Chain A
Amino acid sequence: MILSGWESVFFWIFSIAAILAGLLTVMARNAVHSALFLISSLVSVAALFILLGAEFIAGVQILVYVGGVMVLFLFVIMLVNVGAEEEGRAPIFNRPAQVTAALVFLALLAGILVIYAIPKGYQALQKRDESAMQQTSAKRAAEQANMPAAATGVSRLSSQTQTVGTALYTAGALPFEIASILLLVAIIGSVMLARTLKQEVAADDVDPEVLNEMKQS
């Protein structure tokens, strides 16, 4: 999987955008700014998915994360008042000593991963798969050569979405159903969690002791 030409330009643009937006997500003082930076990071990663040929996942990422989850986040940020942090009356990071220790540990982890573990592992992987890689690239080049000269970009598009759908409904059918049950449980659970005491009383779902205390106060 070697990108070239404009693909590599877009790769660097979107990966740097994703990392910068991720950093700003963690460092922004205002939670709304954090959410907006997280949205831009997620969109950049979706662009990387398209570069990797996973158009369907990129679409799902934008629809579900950006369209659904992040809107939910923004709503909750507006319900929950975090004024002190935004106005600079309180520090956004936790106690300095612990934060320093965490950052030192994470810098070590990042250094080992980026400098040693990933390049070494990738070299070994490349050595193992060299011949298979050359075979598939030769096959792909032959397919490209067989295409008529008038073939447009659309006819060169991959049929990834179809393949993903087929795999999802055949090999992944049982996990798919389990995921639907998980989502149902999550819906019911979050409705249960976010009820007010009044709503719980209306549903006759309160401990009698709590009810007595409430009446006394």
Chain B
Amino acid sequence: MFQEASRTSTALESIKHPDLSKFLVIAAILFIIGVAGVLTRRNLLVIFMSIELILNAANLNFIAFSRYLQDTGRGDVMSGQIFTVFIIVVAAAEAAIGLGIVIALYRNRETIWVDEIDLMKW
């Protein structure tokens, strides 16, 4: 009985005071949503958007751990944010190349549905 009460109070406490693990949970859920989009959608553009969602979940993890390292004073506290800058750069490059491929593909095949693009399947 007493244990039950203390458990609910810790649950309420963790909702009132979100910590590192809450950020990790949010990032994990965003990542899963992105992977679901990549695996299930037929539209190539929406698949690219889901990839952006995945990269963004990784960014959230990096920033959360950077803040955690700042609070504990362990390790190189800025490397998480530096990594995030580079992830954003790579995501921008990836989007530019990917959209170039989409345009070239649409010009040649008149479709961007991934299950109709099977030229390289055997």
- Seen from chain A, the residues whose Cβ lies within 8 Å of a Cβ on chain B are 1-4, 8, 11-12, 15, 18-19, 22-23, 25-26, 31, 34-35, 38, 41-42, 45, 48-49, 52-54, 56-57, 60-61, 64-65, 68-69, 72-73, 76-77, 79-80, 82, 85, 90-95, 99, 102-103, 106, 109-110, 113-114, 118-119, 122, 125, 129, 132-133, 135-137, 160, 163-164, 167-168, 171-172, 175, 179, 182-183, 185-187, 189-194, 196
Interface size on B, residues (CB 8 A): 76
Task: Assess whether A19 is in contact with B100, with CB atoms less than 8 Å apart.
Answer: no
Main secondary structure of the interface of A (DSSP, over half): helix
Judging by beta carbons under 8 Å apart, are B32 and A73 in contact?
no
CB atoms of A8 and B16 under 8 A apart: yes
**What 8 new A-B contacts, CB under 8 Å, besides A3-B17, A15-B22, A25-B37?**
A3-B18, A25-B53, A69-B95, A73-B48, A132-B72, A171-B78, A179-B86, A193-B100
B41 contacts partner chain A, Cβ-Cβ < 8 Å: yes
Q: Is the CB of A122 within 8 A of B95?
A: no
Q: How far is the CA of A140 from the CA of B84 in the complex (A)?
A: 26
Residues of A within 8 A of B15 (CB): 8, 12
Asked if B117 is an interface residue, CB under 8 A from chain A, the answer is no
B28→A22 contact, CB < 8 A: no
Check A190 against B97 for contact (C-beta < 8 Å): yes
Instruction: Given A22-B34, A79-B103, A190-B99, verify A135-B26 contact (CB < 8 Å).
Output: no
